[in-house]
A and B are shown apart, each in its own frame.
Chain A
Amino acid sequence: QSVLTQPPSASGTPGQRVNISCSGSTSNIGSKTVNWYQLLPGTAPKLIVYADTRRPSGVPDRFSGSKSGTSASLAISGLQSEDEADYYCAAWDDSVNGAVFGGGTQLTVL
């Protein structure tokens, strides 16, 4: 059971917009910034959103992050086949004095 809650799966067709949610609490998302990572099989995690809403250079602007209260969300617009991957949210948690990850969301592009 992860501290941050994500839906286990999400899907969309090419060109669609999908949203992946990440629910936490006041000790993590509610008071700390959220990062999002993309994980492809056999590769290291890739940072795609940091500090709730910011994108590292090189990440397409199709990816966007938002946060409200104790929940965060990753939106992917103009879905492409190469977006098919697992996505994880993460935040520091003051109650456990450590970083916590969501359980991950497997995105399928139909």
Chain B
Amino acid sequence: EEQLLESGGGLVQPGGSLRLSCAGSGFTFSSYAMSWVRQVPGKGLEWVSRITGSGDTKFYVDSVKGRFTISRDNPVNMVYLQMNSLRAEDTAVYYCAKDEGGWLPGRLWGQGTLVTVSS
């Protein structure tokens, strides 16, 4: 069974850092690009970042460029989101997702992890 499991969320002060992790299983991890998508409580979905299967190409939404870094470790089926210089507006539930056609998240999503940026 295919599965994604996020971890690493929590409460952090503005300006702080946090690293989210996403463990994949049940599929050939290195064959798929992976994305992070977030949802601010009570608001809509926002795509955050994408990394190709090999890890050699990365994309970011403008609001996180220079602050967030996506990476992956294929031998252990993990994708990460390093978040630095966090702001209150980064408070959201963060989901990792397996990309399928159209360079978009497909059927497989994690359960989400809540990041709260507050003093």
Contact = CB atoms under 8 A, between A and B. Distances in A.
Contacts of B103: 32, 92, 99
Contacts of A44: 95, 109-112
Interface string A73-110: 00000000000001010111000111111111000000
A2 interface: yes
Interface residues of B, number: 26
Contacts of A96: 61-62
B16 interface: no
Given A45-B37, A99-B103, A99-B104, 13 more contacts: A32-B102, A44-B109, A44-B110, A45-B45, A51-B101, A86-B44, A88-B45, A90-B47, A91-B104, A92-B102, A98-B47, A98-B50, A98-B61
Interface of B: 35, 37, 39, 44-47, 50, 59-62, 95, 97, 100-107, 109-112
